[in-house]
C-alpha cells in the first residue's frame, strides 16, 4: 500500500517545525497546527493499516498531547520555554518514526 502522500505531508510538517527554538504565541500556534495535521494524517494511516499504525495513534499521539498540555500549564517563562522545546522534539520524533514506518512498508 502506498503512503507517499501522507509521508510527503509529514516531511513537510517536520521541516516546518524543526527550527522553532523560541517560545512565543506564533511558534506555539505553528506547533499546535502541526500537531493537528499530524493527528489527522495518523488517523488516515491507522484506518488504512491498523496493525502498523495503531500504536502510533494511541501511544505517541498521547505523548504529543501531554507535551502540549505541559506547555500550556507552565507557570514561568523558563518552564514554558523548556516544555515548548520538549513539545517540538516530541512532535518531530513521532513524525520521523511515522515517516520511517511508511518508508519500510512500501
The predicted structure's pLDDT at residue 98: 94
The predicted structure's pLDDT at residue 106: 64
If phi > 0 it is left, if psi is from -120 to 50 it is alpha, else beta; for residue 26 that is alpha
Contacts (Cβ under 8 Å, ≥6 apart) of 16: 30, 34
For residue 70, the SS3 value is helix
The predicted structure's pLDDT at residue 76: 95
pTM: 0.92
**103: which 3 cell numbers?**
518508508
Blockwise average pLDDT, block size 10, the chain, 106 residues: 85 94 96 96 94 92 96 96 97 95 84
Amino acid at each position: 500500500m502506498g503512503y507517499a502522500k501522507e509521508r510527503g505531508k509529514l516531511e513537510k510538517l517536520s521541516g516546518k517545525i524543526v527550527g522553532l527554538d523560541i517560545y512565543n504565541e506564533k511558534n506555539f500556534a505553528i506547533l499546535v497546527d502541526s500537531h493537528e495535521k499530524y493527528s489527522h494524517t495518523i488517523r488516515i494511516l491507522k484506518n488504512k493499516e491498523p496493525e502498523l499504525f495503531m500504536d502510533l495513534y494511541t501511544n505517541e499521539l498521547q505523548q504529543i498531547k501531554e507535551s502540549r498540555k505541559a506547555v500550556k500549564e507552565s507557570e514561568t517563562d523558563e518552564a514554558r520555554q523548556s516544555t515548548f522545546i520538549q513539545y517540538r522534539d516530541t512532535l518531530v520524533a513521532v513524525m520521523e518514526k511515522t515517516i520511517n514506518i511508511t518508508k519500510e512498508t512500501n
